[in-house]
Structure 1
Amino acid sequence: MYTPHTGKFFNRVLLVIAFFTALFTTVHATNINLALGKSATQSSIYNTTLYHASQAVNGNTQGIWYNNSITHTQKEQGAWWQVDLGSEKNIHQIIIHNRTDCCADRLSNYQVSISNKVDFSTHTYQQDFHGVPNPKKTIKLSTQGKRGRYVKIQLLDNNYLSLAEVQVMGVDLLRFSEVDFSSAYNDFGGNNNAFNGFNSGAFAAIKGNGSIIAWGDSKHGGTGAPAGSDYTKIYSNKHAFAALKANGSIAAWGNSNLGGAGAPTDSGYTKIYSTDAAFAALKTDGSITAWGDSNSGGASAPTDSGYTKIYSNRYAFSALKADGSITAWAGWGGLGLGGIAPTDDSGYTKIYSTDAAFAALKTDGVITAWGHSDFGGAGAPIDGGYIKIYSTGYAFAALKADGSITAWGDSNWGGTGAPTGGDYIKVHSAWCAFAALKADGSIAAWGHSMYGGAGAPTDSGYTKIYSNALAFTALKADGSITAWGGSIYGGSGEPTDSGYIKIYSTDSAFAALKADGSITAWGDSKYGGTGAPIDNGYIKIYSTKYAFVALKADGSITAWGRSGKGGTTPTISN
């Protein structure tokens, strides 16, 4: 059984002393027609049985009316056609094939857009064209391409829209697990607030054909990924993965005792959540199936339905219904272990967590906490007006609308020492310290003084704070970086130049990305602090606890960090 004190700080930071040499290689992908056979729609249909939107994604570039090889709308203002690529892709070219029998000039005044929104309320690319594709128009996008799920062609005048074929050439980027180490720490206000635990030692990603590739530690799912295709999302806990198919069926792999086996055999699931060592899957009817370590939530899930969302800490789950009532199960935070039982009233809108406690927020900003008292299960504020809660491993910090902060939990981990006054707009957390950002870009930190709770910069103008387990980094508008916290874990050694746009993390290292796609890493070499690629063109970075993998716009990847934990790039067939 896992215990919350097993992972205490000093044991974990001194655990690894072995010599490590970073390894990295690069694997490339090739352009394909991303639109072929995908779902297409248009503003109207000229004939109910012929000339449908799908005719432009069937692989036939003949633009001949009598061969039924074109699309055709009614004559109307702003007639449009669009294709859903299924998920976000990296698009390098759009090739528009016009009809060739007659009427080519109808397509002479049009707009092409790329978006991740089906209604195109925002777009990543949009351009007007005033000329006839004869017989085709090739639109070459920037070197790094444009990312989006939907492509639209729309007339700028009143006319019929006919298309022979639309080829969207690009890369079907690898889709990694929904939560990785870096996103857990930086996107959810505390890594325990993420709906999945990050996988400690392996990567898994979905390829363009819906099949899965995994690499890294076999004990964490680096081998044994399911065969077949049609997978749409990958979820993780610390020791295993669970992949969801389009029909809502699930395949799990990794440590068989900790979630890598025992997944449900039926279908209809919509999302998967996890603790450190168990999974819980939610169905469309709000029923829940759990598997994995029984002491971490793999057993005793509620048998009723109507749940809308599941939350977790390291050892327990809490599920929320539409009326705001909560059902919790498993270890600390699930059964009241540690002295504080789960709440039994309703009206809650969201739940947050430390390693072994929960804190639930109501619409009026009132907070109820439960779980292990040493981890914030006791001592929550009794007033209301709070709008969001953040957490370290052992403490909570709640933010009010006026920008004031109240903290509770272990005093050494941020449960005391929160700044007074207001005007704070966001709180960030490492494993044992908090850092709060003000509207003017100044920062206040508290918690463990050696690992981010002290030493924050005294100037202002910072726009974003990032963290790993043991240090913080802050980014200014000019892309310059200031780091503090555990010096060998990324709290010092940050780059001195500027132009960085985002920072990613492993447990004890950082990797900063520039606008040109170049990367600088620093921190513990055993966690990816050295060995970053020296070329550029990267667009995103993912991480396990010990390794990074960087993704390029052309679909190629480069990994570095501990080789047995995902730091060696796999061989990937296109």
Structure 2
Amino acid sequence: MSGADECSEEVEPPMSISLRVALLSGEATTVVVDPACTIQRLRSKVQKELGIHELITADGQLLKGTSTLQDIGLRDGDTVTATVRYAMLVSGRLCRAFALLRGDGSVVSWGEKVACGQYSSVAHAQLEGVQKIRCSSGAFAAVLSDDSVVTWGDTACGADSNAVMAQLRDVNDMSASAFAFAAIRHDGSVVTWGDRRFGGDSSSVQKQLVDVKHIAASGRAFAAIRGDGGAVAWGSEDCGGDCSEVQDLLQNVAQIHHTYSAFAAIRSDGSVVTWGDKHGGGDSSAVQSQLRDVRKVHGSSYAFAAIRGDGSVVTWGSADSGGDSSSVEDKLKNIKEIKATDTAFAAVRDDGTVVTWGGRHGFGRGGNSSAVQTQLQDVQKLSATDGAFAAILGDGSVVTWGDEDYGGDCQAVRDQLYDARDIQGSNSAFAVIRGDGGVVTWGDRQVGGDSSPVQAQLQDVHCTSLRVSKFSTERDPESC
């Protein structure tokens, strides 16, 4: 055999290679793959089989994309570090169902039958290797490990993406109005679908949708921030789909937030620009001089609340929706977080106490928390439905208040609400993930308050046992 032949045989890639996959804890296991396997397929494999998320090479390279293992130089015996992703609940004040993204990249949906996809043609196998999920009022859209998109739920709310499926590739992130979706691709272009009247048709501004970095959505419109700091809007003009009146002011935009019918853009200098329904937060002229050094803006259905750098709060919009906070102005100090129902706000202070206001005539929808005020200490996380609030305290317990029909009363599941780690509200129900990986739900049974049909899938949602069984039995001897 000639030297040339020997050289050729030496560089020929093996039929398969073994990669050592290690957690930061030191636990490790081995996966055997084809060197021609793409990074996307490898990530999907380890997510499904090992319950882990991202993979990072020894030199700090995040493994992502369509390159093969051979292309990026991974060889037999190499070690990659794995990161764990905990389960995530997805829903919102307008949404009629929940979706749970489990640690292994699979998805569980429950709630209104149409919204959660019980009549959908999406196969269970399609919802594997899921990276992120977004929801409209009655549909869900998921980005998979290959950066394609799968949609399910109510077709009237954006579940039918067939018309743009060929364009839904290389998707980085998505946003949703009540009835439509918008996807940002890696090249900064945008793809939209759903109800054409409410943001599903972006053809009128398509030339302006370049180098898009972020998209926000009101109830029936979208607003996008470009890489140059400019902003563009489309959808229903009544809900902020036309920003032409303030176009000259939309420069150096850093963030965009929304109510149901208006938008508020925070510029890099901390000033704020608003547009849309003037009675729903689109007109901030009465408080414009106060809107300086703004760090974050939160919206109820028709009012905004802005947190400034000194922890104070400025509100505007419909007084019935929390736009008038004068009754609690002296308490709105050192605010770090705000959540909103349809008509009320709840603000968490640095000391873990809570201040509430809003609700028609000062009552209902969570604007009055007096019944539970003494319990609202050491609040760690806050969530809202359209008519109630729920708070996770430092000891892992949960406190609720507001309209009982919207999840404001958790008494029926009180004994199950321990070691709560995450919480999410749908339109009128709540769901909590506990530290042991179990899920507890309450509120309107029709929109997610009753999870009994899928309860078997709502155990060990972080996929801890999957990781333990794979890693602890195959620990690298050298790490012991």
TM-score band by shorter chain is 0.5 to 0.7
C-alpha contact (below 8 Å) 1:275/1:315 kept by paired residues = yes
For 1:393 and 1:505, locate their aligned partners in 2 and report how far apart those are by CA, in whole Å.
15
C-alpha contact (below 8 Å) 2:182/2:190 kept by paired residues = yes
TM-score, reference length from structure 1:
0.56
Structure 1 residue 366 corresponds to structure 2 residue 230: yes
Q: C-alpha deviations, 1:466-517, integer Å up to 9, x for none?
A: 1122211011111111101112110012432322222121220111221111
SS in structure 1 opposite 2:342?
coil
For 1:324 and 1:467, locate their aligned partners in 2 and report how far apart those are by CA, in whole Å.
31
Tell me which residue corresponds to 2:96: 200
C-alpha contact (below 8 Å) 1:480/1:499 kept by paired residues = yes
- Match of residue 51, structure 2, among 86, 98, 122: 86
Tell me which residue corresponds to 2:284: 417
Structure 1 residue 41 corresponds to structure 2 residue 6: no
C-alpha contact (below 8 Å) 1:342/1:371 kept by paired residues = no
SS in structure 1 opposite 2:279?
helix
For 2:123 and 2:335, locate their aligned partners in 1 and report how far apart those are by CA, in whole Å.
44
Shift of 1:567: 3.0
Higher helix share: 2
Shift of 1:351: 2.0
SS in structure 2 opposite 1:526?
helix
Cα gap change, 1:441 to 1:268, in 2 (>3 Å): closer
Query: In the alignment, residue 470 of structure 1 is paired with which amino acid?
Result: T
For 1:517 and 1:42, locate their aligned partners in 2 and report how far apart those are by CA, in whole Å.
27
For 1:312 and 1:215, locate their aligned partners in 2 and report how far apart those are by CA, in whole Å.
19
Tell me which residue corresponds to 1:458: 329
Structure 1 residue 449 corresponds to structure 2 residue 319: yes
For 2:156 and 2:451, locate their aligned partners in 1 and report how far apart those are by CA, in whole Å.
35
Tell me which residue corresponds to 1:548: 430
Alignment of 1:48-67 (within 5 A): 53-54=28-29
Query: In the alignment, residue 471 of structure 1 is paired with which amino acid?
Result: A
SS in structure 2 opposite 1:458?
helix
Shift of 1:302: 5.8
Query: In the alignment, residue 355 of structure 2 is paired with which amino acid?
Result: T
For 1:314 and 1:558, locate their aligned partners in 2 and report how far apart those are by CA, in whole Å.
26
C-alpha contact (below 8 Å) 2:50/2:104 kept by paired residues = no
Alignment of 1:13-32 (within 5 A): none
Alignment gaps of 5+ in structure 2: 1-18, 32-48, 61-81, 460-480
Query: In the alignment, residue 200 of structure 1 is paired with which amino acid?
Result: R
Query: In the alignment, residue 483 of structure 1 is paired with which amino acid?
Result: T
Q: C-alpha deviations, 1:202-261, integer Å up to 9, x for none?
A: x454678887766554x24xxxxxxxxxxxxxxxxxx12xxxxxxxxxxxx32x3xxx23
Shift of 1:180: 2.2
Structure 1 residue 386 corresponds to structure 2 residue 253: yes
C-alpha contact (below 8 Å) 1:312/1:318 kept by paired residues = yes
SS in structure 1 opposite 2:405?
helix
For 2:350 and 2:421, locate their aligned partners in 1 and report how far apart those are by CA, in whole Å.
19
Higher strand share: 1
C-alpha contact (below 8 Å) 2:381/2:423 kept by paired residues = no
Structure 1 residue 426 corresponds to structure 2 residue 391: no
Cα gap change, 1:458 to 1:211, in 2 (>3 Å): closer
Q: Which has the larger radius of gyration?
A: 1
For 1:499 and 1:563, locate their aligned partners in 2 and report how far apart those are by CA, in whole Å.
30
Shift of 1:404: 0.8
TM-score, reference length from structure 2:
0.66
For 1:271 and 1:404, locate their aligned partners in 2 and report how far apart those are by CA, in whole Å.
31
C-alpha contact (below 8 Å) 1:85/1:150 kept by paired residues = no
Tell me which residue corresponds to 2:343: 470
What root-mean-square deviation, in Å, do the aligned CA atoms of Structure 1 and Structure 2 show? 4.1
- Match of residue 319, structure 1, among 183, 187, 208: 183
C-alpha contact (below 8 Å) 1:366/1:382 kept by paired residues = no
Q: C-alpha deviations, 1:311-360, integer Å up to 9, x for none?
A: 33223333334443334344122336xxx923313233222221222222
Cα gap change, 1:564 to 1:150, in 2 (>3 Å): same
Cα gap change, 1:209 to 1:85, in 2 (>3 Å): closer
C-alpha contact (below 8 Å) 1:523/1:529 kept by paired residues = yes
For 1:286 and 1:210, locate their aligned partners in 2 and report how far apart those are by CA, in whole Å.
13
For 1:295 and 1:284, locate their aligned partners in 2 and report how far apart those are by CA, in whole Å.
27
Shift of 1:118: 9.5
Cα gap change, 1:517 to 1:453, in 2 (>3 Å): same
Count residues in correspondence: 374
For 1:454 and 1:563, locate their aligned partners in 2 and report how far apart those are by CA, in whole Å.
33
Cα gap change, 1:528 to 1:261, in 2 (>3 Å): same
SS in structure 1 opposite 2:369?
coil
For 1:306 and 1:207, locate their aligned partners in 2 and report how far apart those are by CA, in whole Å.
22
C-alpha contact (below 8 Å) 1:325/1:344 kept by paired residues = no
Cα gap change, 1:53 to 1:525, in 2 (>3 Å): closer
Alignment gaps of 5+ in structure 1: 1-37, 44-51, 58-83, 89-114, 122-148, 152-171, 186-197, 221-238, 241-252
Cα gap change, 1:504 to 1:293, in 2 (>3 Å): closer
For 1:473 and 1:410, locate their aligned partners in 2 and report how far apart those are by CA, in whole Å.
23
Tell me which residue corresponds to 1:516: 395
For 1:493 and 1:291, locate their aligned partners in 2 and report how far apart those are by CA, in whole Å.
37
Tell me which residue corresponds to 1:25: none
The answer to which of 376-385 and 520-529 deviates more is: 376-385
Cα gap change, 1:87 to 1:344, in 2 (>3 Å): same
- Match of residue 366, structure 2, among 480, 483, 490: 490
Shift of 1:200: 1.2
Query: In the alignment, residue 293 of structure 2 is paired with which amino acid?
Result: D
For 1:353 and 1:572, locate their aligned partners in 2 and report how far apart those are by CA, in whole Å.
34
